[in-house]
Structure 1
Amino acid sequence: MSNTTTPSKAKPFLAIFDLDETLIAADSASLWSAFLVERGIASTTLLEEEQDFMKAYAKGDMDMNSYMKATLKPMVGLDNGTVTKLVDAFIEEKIKPAIYQDAIARIEWHKKRGDKVLVVSATGEHLVKPIASMLGADDAIAINLEQINGSFTGNTVGALSYQQGKVTRMKTWLDEQETQFQGSYGYSDSINDLPLLNAVDRPFAVNPDPTLAMHAQVNEWTIMDWRHDNNIHR
């Protein structure tokens, strides 16, 4: 993922962050499902389905297509304006209280260096893009959602940014950039992001699950724990 530098000006680095359990102390998609239930937009059965899916996710074998179909069902027929208002309220109520202070500090560290900050997540773009913007990221890659005549259909579009799909989407994103990068940093908590971490020059295991922690130790990757007391951004 490295690019050569020009003699006139050093090219920036690219800092790639996973979102859930890396930058925030929660899974944004799960919080969103609970939020929709609280608002009466989704049935409580969605939370039961969510729990089953998350157990599979922790093992690294979740069917993302099935997960997206189930969790997007409450949004079918909702227009973009309605969803945007719901997401704005959701971020204020559920996401902002869950942000890691160390995550903000790390993003700011990269920004001060002149690096470009990119959030890459296996969650829907309706959540990831506004959350990434709020966190100070320059751009975001997420699962694209289909809209017809301004309303959500419950379907996804294109390659899902999940596991190896994150690398696929990231390569497409890189091809679209006018900027070339001299190197890359990658941050994630999950073994599901092993393809992404293997693709960057400097991988960091942040709040790693047991499997990723073991992999990081064997490969002498830097391990960061942002979950210590009093580390939630207020």
Structure 2
Amino acid sequence: MIEYGPDGTVVAGARTVPSEPPASEPARTRSAAFFDLDNTVLRGASVFHLARGLYRREFFTGRDIAAMMWKQVYYTVLGENLTHVSQIREQALGFVAGHTVDEISRIGEEVYDEVMAEKIWPGTRALAQAHLDAGDDVWLVTASPVEVATVFADRLGLTGALGTVAESVDGVYTGRLVGEPLHGEAKAVAVNALAAERGYDLARCAAYSDSANDIPMLSLVGSPCAVNPDGALRTHARSHGWKVRDFRNGRRAAKLGVQAAGATALAGALAAAASRRRSR
């Protein structure tokens, strides 16, 4: 969720975006493009790759994951109610409790260079670059940790990133979230606030996502596009005349579907393990 600082600027995740450009700069563009991250820009889920990087750095044990994996898979297969989803989201970044923001940001950069850079969809990268070349601002808007989203924005030369924010005190994570996870309707709220702050005309803006969860964000803009869409989003896009771009082949799409389910299970296991450690 967008928050405002004492000087009237909008705080976008870990960054502060000036409400007005310096007088020496030309007037900002009135159009922008908003990209989801997981399965839209990146093959698979960023939290899965980050978790593997943290595991290699001994942030948690395989036993922590295995102990809770079956329960999360059970929820995934049989369906999660809103209470389960809320609990998982609130704890999703708890496994970094006690570690510093600088440390996690550094690890995020390392994991990007080691693993994630080569998993960016070339087609989506080209779409983002086309907007940049046209003079548009380009933002990532994702439920992934803002530290991860910021690395992507920096490496790809984008304008900035909005993501889920973990609370920190004196530069150390507390294991709690700041506000709500940036997911579903919350993305639309954040984009609306950012557009008001930056002066974007949403009718001239574009948005890209793979998930039906992002229909609220996609519906805000004049040029919505479904990228590597799930079934529900593909159906919605076709019925509303939205553009569809699919950069997967059949085998790749099936593999990513399995990866997404596994990433959901892994995220739940990580949250549960962190919660268990904090209760000791």
Q: Same fold (TM over 0.5)?
A: yes
CA gap 1:166/1:54 in 2 versus in 1, 3 angstroms: farther
Correspondence 1:135 to 2:153:
no
Among candidates 44, 48, 59, match of residue 41 of structure 1: 59
Q: What TM-score results when the alignment is normalised by the length of structure 1?
A: 0.83
Give the whole-Å Cα distance in 1 for the aligned partners of 2:71 and 2:127: 30
Among candidates 116, 120, 123, match of residue 102 of structure 1: 123
Paired-residue identity, %: 25
**2:224–2:242 contact (8 Å) kept in structure 1:** yes
**1:69–1:154 contact (8 Å) kept in structure 2:** no
Give the whole-Å Cα distance in 2 for the aligned partners of 1:219 and 1:60: 29
Residue 4 (structure 1) aligns with: none
Among candidates 200, 203, 221, match of residue 242 of structure 2: 221
1:217 CA displacement: 1.4
CA gap 1:196/1:61 in 2 versus in 1, 3 angstroms: farther
- Give the residue type in structure 1 aligned to 2:196: D
**1:118–1:141 contact (8 Å) kept in structure 2:** yes
Residues 89-116 of structure 1: per-residue CA shift (max 9 Å, x gap): 1111121011111122111110111111
Please list every run of 5 or more consecutive structure 2 residues that lacks an aligned counterpart in the other structure: 1-26, 253-280
Among candidates 25, 46, 57, match of residue 28 of structure 1: 46
Residue 15 (structure 2) aligns with: none
1:127 CA displacement: 0.9
Residue 165 (structure 1) aligns with: 186
Residue 17 (structure 1) aligns with: 35
1:144 CA displacement: 1.5
Larger fraction in helix: 2
Ranges of 4+ aligned residues in structure 1 off by more than 6 Å:
58-62
Please list every run of 5 or more consecutive structure 1 residues that lacks an aligned counterpart in the other structure: 1-8
Give the whole-Å Cα distance in 2 for the aligned partners of 1:34 and 1:69: 21
1:66 CA displacement: 2.6
Residues 58-97 of structure 1: per-residue CA shift (max 9 Å, x gap): 9896955433444322210001222122111111112101
Residues 124-160 of structure 1: per-residue CA shift (max 9 Å, x gap): 1111111122122101111112110110111111232
Q: CA RMSD in A?
A: 2.8
Q: What TM-score results when the alignment is normalised by the length of structure 2?
A: 0.70
> What pairs up with 1:115-130 in 2 under 5 angstroms?
115-130=136-151
**2:93–2:166 contact (8 Å) kept in structure 1:** no
Among candidates 141, 146, 166, match of residue 167 of structure 2: 146
> What pairs up with 1:56-67 in 2 under 5 angstroms?
65-67=86-88
Give the whole-Å Cα distance in 2 for the aligned partners of 1:11 and 1:217: 30
1:51 CA displacement: 5.9
Correspondence 1:180 to 2:229:
no
1:28 CA displacement: 0.2
Residue 132 (structure 2) aligns with: 111
Asked which structure has the greater CA Rg, the reply is 2
